[in-house]
Structures are given as C-alpha cells and as structure tokens.
Amino acid sequence: MNNNELYVSLDIGTSTIKVIVGEMTDDSLNIIGVGNVPSEGLKKGSIVDIDQTVRSIKKAFEQAERMVGFSLKKAIVGVNGNYIHIQDTNGVVAVSSENKEIHTEDVRRVMEAAQVVSIPNEQIIVDVIPRQFIVDGRDEITDPKKMLGVRLEVEGTLITGSKTILHNLLRCVERAGVEITDICLQPLAAGSVALSTDEKNLGVALIDIGGGSSTIAVFENGHLLATKVVPLGGENITKDLSIGLRTSTEEAERIKKQYGHAYYAGSSPEEEFEVSVIGTDQKQTFKQSEIAAIIEARVEEILQFAAEELVRMGIRDLPGGFVLTGGTAGLTGVLDLAKEMFSSNVRLASPNYIGVREPQYMTAVGLIQFACSNAKIQGRKVGFKMPSEAVQEVAASHQEEFSAPKKRQQKPKKEKQESKMKKLFNFFWE
C-alpha cells in the first residue's frame, strides 16, 4: 500500500453504522477498509441514546481497523436531512494579493462572507456549497484559484441544521474518540456518486430508502434543490413480517433478506420456506407470494410518501426521472414496483467499488467523494497520511488483513488550523 492520502467516512444510520476507508490516488478512489455494524441508540434517523450510539460507532471503527491494520482517528461525518434547511446565499470580497491572482485565502474569505446571513436561533450553519464563482463578472467558474481578478463572488447553497441534533451527533463522535474533519449533508454526498451530471441538470429525485427512514432529495440545474426525510424504511418491513408471520424480529429480517420480494406480480407462488413461530418450537410454512403481499404494501407506502413530498416541494416534472439507493432499495422487486408507481424512468444506483457494490454503501462512499472534491476547491484538508509505522506494519502483514486490530498508536500533535469544524466545536463546548 502506498502512502497516499487516506479518507475515512462515518455514516450513522438507524439500522447500521458504516465506516469506509478510502485511498485517493490521482483523483481515483480505492476502498481499503469497511466497517458495518448494527446500529443501536437511534430511531427514525435521530439519536435517542448517546451511550449506545457511541458503542456502535466504536464497533464500526474497530471493524474497519481490522481490515486496514492501523488505528483510525479521523472521519468525515454525514448528517441526514432531518431538520435541515436549504437556502441560497452569496458572498463578495476583493482579491487581496498585489498581483491580483486569486489564492486559497481569497476563496476561504468569500466562503465565509457567504455565511454572514440571518438564521433562526435554534439553527446553526452546517455548510456552504458553492454553485459557481464569479470573477470580475465572469460567471460559471467552478474553481477560481490562480485566476486574475479584482472582485471575487460566490453563489452557493447554505445548509443549516438544528443545534440540538447536531450537538448530539458531534458529542457521540467525539466520545467515540474520533476527530471530525468535515461534516457533509448525506443526500448531497449520495447524489455526488449516485447521479450523473445530466440527471442533476435535467431534474431528478434521489430516494434513499434506509433502515429507519427514507430521504428524498431533488436536484435541478446541477444542484440540490430540496430534501425531506420520511420516517419509514426497511425496519418497518421487518416489523410487518414479524407480526404477519408471528415470528421474532431476527427471523423476520432473515426471511426478508433471503426470500423477500417487494413486487407481488413478480414473486413466486411455488417457492416455500419454513418460519419459526415465536414462543414455540413449531415451524410454519409460507410461500414467497404471501410475504410479497406484506412487503409490497409497505414499500408502496414509502414510495407514496415520497411522491407526496415531491408535490409539497412543488415538483411537477422530473425529466431525469427517479434514482433509488439505500439498503432497502436493493430488495428484490423494489425497482419494479417503483417503475409501476411512478410511470417514469427509474433506476437503482450502487457504488462501483470493490467491496462496497451494494446500495447500502452509497452514502458512505459519497461522503468521501463529495468532501474531497469540496475541500479541494476551498483549500481545506479532510484526509490524512498513513502513519509511517503503520505503512511498515501493513506491508509486513499484508496477508493478515483480517487479523486482530493493532494496538492504537499515539497521535502526533496536530497542527492548529482554522476550519468550519473548529467553529462548530467552539460553539458547543467553549
């Protein structure tokens, strides 16, 4: 393994917590470590028990550490769309250098200027995403660095979130012993990988069906227009099966994954399987078509809620169609049902990386891609170099990727640097 820049993402979901470790080489991402553990302490996308959430985060990191063979102490953290507000913003500054060449410092100042807006007391700025930079009236610039100009402007999207919810998130990650290098909105992250440029320009709805909740995000003219969270997901399907089959939650989850079908018309009336009846030693036989009726009803409800939210957003036409992602979206039959319900072009998106080629990893992979791209424009650092001792250890034990985790190394004292993360931590804990 080369000593390239490493990036770690943390996707805290209701049903699972995922940690992805990626190595960036010439703008190409290589996944080298994955942690995926059941999530405890969250309900419907919100943290309800900090101690349980902290334990789950630690387990996910330990699992990823076993794969890469060294300690992980930093991460890009995803924020879901709960209680998130999106609005347009802009900033203007004069270029500071004598030769009028635009530097990273100028970009940083104009991004800070875009954050000088009035927001409600219960909200805090999570991020500003630049849509375009303008240099002396010349617009549609994606990266103004090294250009010559007198006046630098930015037009962007201001993302604000609930202080309380963000505080709980930061507190959990901090107590797990992880330093946050960046915070990203999950729908933006997922969209950066799941959607094509044409889809985002034409107008597309990204529906991320997770375990405890589903997120609807609309992109238009290349940028995020709106997002909404629906408190329904795969866990509701599992609960429905548990009740309908009179079995335990664990057994219902197994049946869903092994025999589940979300499109009744495409299910098999011949395929049979046995289910343990809860509270007894007995087993009962069911057909796939019988559980398909249960699953289809719940998935149909989730998609119907998504359609209603689009109407509330004022969305009438989506030439780019619908893109499904998330763990539950990968269930057999979901895509067929969505095509029938939306009467539009619908596809399923999964990351195209070895080891994470399932829809459930879309957000975690997207966090790395999006944060890396955004930080590069703004001159921020969200990755880190592998410790030199770890490079030697990994090279020596390359054949033992899945051995016990190495003892955590002491972190070298990091350089002090101003960032949006420092401001967030100062707000909560100073």
The SS3 of residue 314 is coil
C-beta separation of 182 from 380 below 8 A: yes
Residues 101 and 244 grouped into a single domain: no
| Chosen domain end from 329, 348, 367 | 348
In three state form, how does the secondary structure of 117-161 look? CCCCCCEEEEEEEEEEEEECCEEEECCCCCCECCEEEEEEEEEEE
Query: Residues 28, 48: one domain?
Result: yes
Answer yes or no: do 335 and 260 share one domain.
Answer: yes
Any domain includes 396: yes
Compute CA distances 274 → 200, 261, 331, whole Å.
45, 16, 20
Residue whose C-alpha is closest to residue 12's, from 76, 102, 64, 83: 76
Q: Are strands 204-209 and 322-325 parallel, antiparallel or unpaired?
A: parallel
222 domain residue, yes or no: yes
- Classify residue 159: in a domain, yes or no: yes
Task: Answer whether residue 192 is part of any domain.
Answer: no
Looking at the fold, whether 281 and 378 belong to one and the same domain comes out as: no
**Within a 10 A sphere around the Cβ of 9, how many other Cβ atoms?**
28
Cβ(159)–Cβ(185) below 8 Å: yes
**Residue 210 and residue 343 in one domain:** yes
Q: In this structure, is residue 195 part of a structural domain?
A: no
- 231, with CB counted inside 10 A (0-12, 13-18, 19+), is middle
**Would you state the pLDDT for residue 397?**
46
Which residues, listed in sequence order, are joined to residue 385 by a DSSP beta bridge?
5
Look at residues 350, 387, 361, 331 and name the one whose alpha carbon lies nearest to residue 34: 361
Domain with 205, as residue range(s), is 200-348
Residue 408, domain member (yes or no) = yes
Q: Quickly tell me which residue has 């954050």 as its tokens.
A: 115
Total domains in the chain come to 3
Residues 71 and 97 in one domain: no
Using CA of residue 240, residue 245, residue 247, residue 251, what is the dihedral sign?
negative
What is the chain's pLDDT, residue by residue, as a tens digit (430 residues)?
A: 566 889 999 999 999 999 999 998 877 899 999 999 999 999 888 899 999 999 999 999 999 999 999 999 999 999 998 889 999 999 999 999 999 999 999 999 999 999 999 999 999 999 999 999 999 999 999 999 999 999 999 999 999 999 999 999 999 999 999 999 999 999 999 999 999 999 999 999 999 999 999 999 999 999 999 999 999 999 999 999 999 999 999 999 999 999 999 999 999 999 999 999 999 999 999 999 999 999 999 999 999 999 999 999 999 899 999 999 999 999 999 999 999 999 999 999 999 998 999 999 999 999 999 999 999 998 889 999 876 655 555 445 444 444 444 444 444 444 444 456 556 655 554 5
Give me the torsion for CA of 103, 105, 108, 110, rounded to 10°: -70
Residue 247 has φ and ψ, to the nearest 5°, of -135, 175
Which of 348, 370, 397 terminates a domain? The answer is: 348
The answer to whether residues 172 and 36 belong to one domain is: yes
Q: What is the CA radius of gyration of the chain?
A: 23
What residues form DSSP beta bridges with 43? Answer: 46
The pLDDT, as a whole number, for residue 407 is 46
Q: How far apart are CA 72 and CA 253, in angstroms?
A: 31
- Looking at the fold, whether 337 and 374 belong to one and the same domain comes out as no
Shared domain for 35 and 174, answered yes or no, is yes
- State the Cα–Cα distance between residues 242 and 167, nearest whole angstrom: 35
> Are 131 and 204 contained in the same domain?
no
pTM of the model: 0.88
> Which among 256, 346, 33, 55 is positioned nearest to 173, based on CA atoms?
55
pLDDT, residue 410, reads 47
Which residue, among 337, 425, 378, 420, has the nearest Cα to 126 in the 3D structure? Answer: 420
Does the residue 193 lie in any domain? no
In this structure, is residue 194 part of a structural domain? no
Give the count of beta carbons closer than 10 Å to the beta carbon of residue 358: 14
Do 410 and 365 reside in the same domain of the chain?
A: yes
Out of 348, 368, 394, pick the residue that ends a domain: 348
- The enclosing domain of 153 has a CATH number of 3.30.1490.110
Give the integer Cα–Cα distance in Å for 230 and 208. Answer: 10
Cα separation, 88 vs 188, in Å, equals: 15
| CATH number of the domain enclosing 211 | 3.30.420.40
The count of other CB atoms within 10 Å of the CB of residue 388 is: 9
Note whether 172 and 157 are same-domain residues.
no
Q: What are phi and psi of 326, to 5 degrees?
A: 95, 160
pLDDT of res. 83: 86
Cα 423 to chain centroid, rounded = 22
Contacts of 21 (CB under 8 A, 6+ apart): 6, 7, 8, 31, 32, 33, 34, 64, 67, 68, 72
> CA 304, CA 307: separation in Å to the nearest integer?
5
